[in-house]
Structure 1
Amino acid sequence: MSQEKEAGSPRLGVLRIALWCAALVGVAGVLYIIAQASITPRAKGGLTDLTRGEMSRLILPAEAAPAPVTSFLDAEGKPVRIGDFRGKVVVVNLWATWCAPCVLEMPTLARLAEAQKGRDVVVLAISIDREKDADKARAFIGKNAPLAFYHDPKSSLPFSLKPPTAAMPTTLIFGRDGVERARMLGEADWAGKDAAAVLDRLVDEK
């Protein structure tokens, strides 16, 4: 009997984490919609017809929100801001090693980054793991080239967004002007044609 419990406990642990992440995604989605009413000025349009397939859950903000000025760290420990990539379309993925959906979707973000090489698109996978888990997060990203390692050990960035997010993973897409154009709460396939169509539209904007 005790052996059965021991064998089942890891599965229960993974299930609890997955359910917890799913619950956070649901709550964060509701809060996101409510918070949109407090953000100005009005955001650009142009992506509504692309919220289909894998991008059907893509949230298009009703109001424009510039990228936060909060910094995070690159692989060498130097501070970086989303605004440093202004002029390019920036895909920001907030993730953690303890988040099962984050780990599951990461290879699709790696394939997206590979497919977008040579274009004005940057994919930033930013770990919010604590400092003690930084090496684990770094090793995981190392298996998902060409993604580079970025780290926000104090989890400051998710709460600097307008509106903030507690969902993991959360993926945000910023236009060339540094304004948030779309947000995905929860796991998605970023390697397919639906995600590519969204980025193509934003890259073509001048």
Structure 2
Amino acid sequence: MGGAATLISAATARAEISSSLIKGAMKRFKLTRPPKPVPDLEFLDVNDQPVRLSELNGQARLINLWATWCAPCVKEMPSLDRLQAEMPRDRFLVIPISLDGPSKPKVAPFYKEQNLLSLRIYYDKGRKAMSTLGVTLLPTSILVDPEGRELGRLEGDADWDTPEGLALMRAAMT
């Protein structure tokens, strides 16, 4: 019984820590209370190989749904790339899932043009990511803890590599 109480206490503490970090560049971040399991979305990597969110449990993740035709998405991508460069990849991953569909061939050249070196390329499989994750606006970023629970989300673009963004991402890793 003590173990379960400790887990609940840790989850509550994480939510409380996160609420104190919702300021500055992260002021539009909306906490998910209580944290809820994220559906096990399947998407594709750059080589069209399937990846499931559950395969990444054990790492905190920032799932970002975006497209090359979305101006706020394009504006935000360099910040996400700098965020990933600052974070330990073995404990934290930015997962930018492209919703480009028919314009999928534009994604790799976009990464090259923007000099996005730290982000990996992922694609929505079967155009299901938005409905599966309950997203209605691009870009939307969903912060997931190492156990696979949504801690919160931010709709619209953000400056993720700011001190506030870095602090929030680090808090998600604990």
TM bucket by the smaller chain? 0.7 to 0.9
What SS does structure 1 have at the residue aligned with 2:30?
coil
Measured after TM superposition, the shift of residue 195 of structure 1 is 0.6
Match of 1:178 in 2: 148
Q: Is the 8 A contact 2:42 2:125 kept in 1?
A: no
Unpaired stretches in structure 1, ≥5 consecutive residues: 1-42
Match of 1:138 in 2: 108
Give deviations 1:61-120, integer Å, cap 9, x for gaps.
123321211201001101111111101111111000111000001000000011113551
CA RMSD of aligned residues (A): 1.7
Q: Is the 8 A contact 2:60 2:92 kept in 1?
A: yes
In the alignment, the residues of structure 1 paired with residue 132 and residue 34 of structure 2 have an alpha-carbon distance, to the nearest angstrom, of: 16
Match of 1:120 in 2: 91
TM-score, normalised on structure 1?
A: 0.73
**Structure-to-structure mapping, 1:1-206, within 5 angstroms:** 44=12, 45-46=15-16, 47-118=18-89, 120-130=91-101, 132-142=102-112, 143-161=115-133, 164-203=134-173, 205=174
Give deviations 1:121-143, integer Å, cap 9, x for gaps.
1111110111x311101221233
Number of equivalent positions: 160
Go from structure 1 to structure 2 and tell me whether the alpha carbon gap of 1:104 and 1:85 turns closer, same or farther (over 3 Å shift). same
State the identity as a percent: 33
Q: Is the 8 A contact 2:33 2:151 kept in 1?
A: no
What SS does structure 2 have at the residue aligned with 1:61?
strand
Unpaired stretches in structure 2, ≥5 consecutive residues: 1-10
What SS does structure 2 have at the residue aligned with 1:184?
strand
Q: Is the 8 A contact 2:81 2:117 kept in 1?
A: yes
In the alignment, the residues of structure 2 paired with residue 61 and residue 83 of structure 1 have an alpha-carbon distance, to the nearest angstrom, of: 19
TM-score, normalised on structure 2?
A: 0.86
